[in-house]
Every structure is written in C-alpha cells, then in structure tokens.
Structure 1
Amino acid sequence: MSADLERLTAEFEGFQARIRQAEARFSGVGQMQEQLAELEVVAISPDRSVRVVAGAGGAVKDIQLTPDALRQAAPTLAAAIMTTLREAVAEAVRRQVAIVDETVGGELGANTSEHVRQAQAEAWAAGAGTATQYQPSQPRAARSDDDDFSHDSIYGSRG
C-alpha cells in the first residue's frame, strides 16, 4: 500500500510543479491585456493633413483631417487617408504582436512578429502595382417622400 501512496504522492507533486510552471509562464497575461487595451499608434500623412489613430486588433480609433486636407481633390484625399490608415493599422498590429510575443511567444515557441512583418511585406509588394483609384459611386434614382419603404431590406434587395 505504501508504494501506491508514494507513487500517487509523486504524481501529485509533479502535477503541482506543472501548475506552478504554467502560472509562471503566463503570469504576465494580465499585464499584456492591459498593454493591449492601452495600445495606440498615430500615423500622419507626409503632408501632415491626415492623422489616424489605431489600436489593438487594427481598430481605427480616430481620423482627423486638417483644413488643407479638405481642399485636396477627392482622389488625392482618399489616397492619403487610405495610406495613412494602412500605416497606422499595420504598426498597431506589429506592436500588438510584439507585446504578445514578449509575454507568451517564447513559451509557445512562436515568433509571430517575424511572420507578421513578412506577411505585411508580401501584401504591400503584391499591392504596389495596383493602386486603387477613387471611383465615385453611381448616383441612385431619386425617390419621392411618399415612397413605401416597408418592404425594403437593409441589405439592398426588396423583399
């Protein structure tokens, strides 16, 4: 009976040691979550007319335009907004991944930061020759105030 008890005690102690190791490995998760919640990246266009703030997950928190921005042609302004937005979001993603790698990347055997940088470089290289040009949308047919909208769908088809 004492051999069984010793074996069970050893297994239990091994289990407790693994729990302590896991707790030590992931002790920074709470701090990581705080850092991610506070993450903000600001990107400014070269002419300083567009400012974009992005957060964790690439969430766009703010876009600001100067009066000079509003004097630009629509295609120029659209391009400046999109370029600045992409820069802010890309940097926010890089910083987010760096925070995660710093906290748990080594424990998981992952270097996610390098994968993200490589994927972003490939995406930008692929899109470099295909700059999006502003295309105004087609004007909608005017409707009178007394049209019945009860059968319209928010998804654009009548039903």
Structure 2
Amino acid sequence: MSAEFEQLVAQFERFQSRLRKVDDQLANLGEMRSEIAELEATATSDDRSVTVVAGPGGAIKDVRFTEKALAQTPQALSSAVVFTIQQAVAEAARRQAAIVDGHFGGDMHLTDQVVETQAELFGTSPEELRERLAEERPARRPAREEHPDDDYSQRSVLTDDDAPPRPAPPPSPGGSAGDEFLKNLFDEEDR
C-alpha cells in the first residue's frame, strides 16, 4: 500500500507543478499583453518628409508630414507614405514578436520567423533586420506643438489635435484570434 501511496503523492506533486507553471504563464501573459498594448514603432521616410507611427498588430496610430512632403507630386508623396507605413508596420511586427519570444524564453522562435519573412519581402538580409531590432528602442510619441490654423505641416492626418481622446473599446466577449492562439498554445503544452 505504501507504493501506491507514493505513486499518488508523486502524481499529486506533478499536478501541483503543472498548476504552478500555468499560474506563472498566466501572470506572464498579462505582463506581455500590457507590453504589446504599449508598443509603438516609428518610421520616417528617407527624405524625412513622412513619419508613421504603428502600434500592435500593425495598426497605424499616426501619420505626419513636413512642408517638404506637401511640395511633392501626389505620386511621390503616395510612394513615400506607402513605403513608410510598410517600414513602421514591419518594425512593430518585429518588436511584437520579440516581446512574445521574451516572455516565452524564445522557445517559439517567432522573432526569427518574422525576420526571415520580412527579409525575403523587403529584399534585405535577416542580419540587417536583426541589427535594426537590436538598435530599436521603444518610441515615445512627442508632445504636439501649437500651430497656427493654416499650418498643417506638422499635424497628424489621422487625429484631431483638439479632440478629446476616445475611450478604449470594450473587450470582445469571444476573445481575439490571438487569445485563442495563446490558449491553444497552453493547452498543447499540457498534452
């Protein structure tokens, strides 16, 4: 009977160990979500005329133009905006992947997958993108300056400077695809 008892104790200890691991992962998940929610990546066009700020999931948070941007032809400005948006979204994706890898100990190798894919898409080397990721620091949105009403050179095209901030949308009851992915990830680990 003591052998059976020892076996039950061992099973119970394994069960407790798994519960502790799940608790740690859930605590880590909340911290990771917070970091991702605060993520901002800023990219500026080569001629410094367009600046784009991207957030989690590639959401465009801001687009700013200088006087130089307004002097460009519509086609040139369009190209600069599209290129700069692509760069900001790519940087945000790299940072988001790095946050996830950081919280999961790099076991997912998500950053490597993102870097490899982006290198192929942008026609650059993975090493160059890894260097950029290592150099990138979280960007803080600069305080807005007061401008005369007729000067739109430094104003955002996505937000109204005088409008009060909008409240965050309530969380969806069903959860996002990302939540489902993470839940499935934890479920697979326990199997």
- Distance in 2, matches of 1:20 and 1:113, equals 27
Question: TM-score, length-normalised on structure 1?
Answer: 0.70
Letter in 2 for 1:112: L
C-alpha separation between the residues in 1 aligned to 2:115 and 2:13? 42
Larger of the two Rg values belongs to structure: 1
- Secondary structure at 2:72 match in 1: coil
Structure 1 residue 125: deviation in Å? 2.4
Could you say what the CA RMSD is over the residues aligned between the two structures, in angstroms?
A: 2.0
The residue aligned with 1:86 is 86
Following superposition, the deviation at residue 23 of structure 1 comes to 3.0
Q: Which residue of 2 aligns with 1:125?
A: 123
The gaps in structure 1 that reach 5 residues or longer are 127-159
Q: Do the aligned partners of 1:26 and 1:103 also contact (CA within 8 Å) in 2?
A: no
Secondary structure (helix, strand or coil) at the match of 1:110 reads coil
Which range is displaced more, 90-99 or 43-52?
A: 43-52
Contact in 2 for aligned 1:40/1:55 (Cα 8 Å):
yes
**Once structures 1 and 2 are overlaid, which stretch shifts more, 18-27 or 39-48?**
18-27
Say if 2:111 is the partner of 1:113: yes
In the alignment, structure 1 residue 12 sits paired with structure 2 residue 6: no
Instruction: Answer whether contact 1:42 1:52 (CA < 8 A) is retained.
Output: yes
In the alignment, what sits opposite 1:139? none
Q: Which one scores higher on RCO, CA 8 angstroms, separation ≥ 6?
A: 2
Number of the residue aligned with 1:143: none
Alignment partners' CA distance in 1, 2:17 and 2:100: 25
Return the offset for 1:26: 5.1
Aligned partners of 1:26 and 1:104 also within 8 Å: no
Distance across 2 between alignment mates of 1:60 and 1:97:
17
Counterpart of 2:109 in structure 1: which amino acid? N
- DSSP-derived class of the 1:72 partner: coil
Match of 2:67 in 1: 67
Query: For residue 58 of structure 1, what is the amino acid of its counterpart?
Result: G
Q: How does 1:10-159 map to 2 (within 5 A)?
A: 10-25=10-25, 27-106=27-106, 109-125=107-123
- Structure 2 unaligned blocks of 5 or more: 125-191
Identity, % of aligned pairs?
Answer: 47
AA at the equivalent of 2:93:
V
> What is the aligned residue count?
124
Normalising by structure 2, what TM-score? 0.59
> Given residue 104 of structure 1, which amino acid in structure 2 is its aligned partner?
F
Please say if residues 41 and 55 of structure 1, whose CA atoms lie closer than 8 Å, have aligned partners that are also in contact: yes
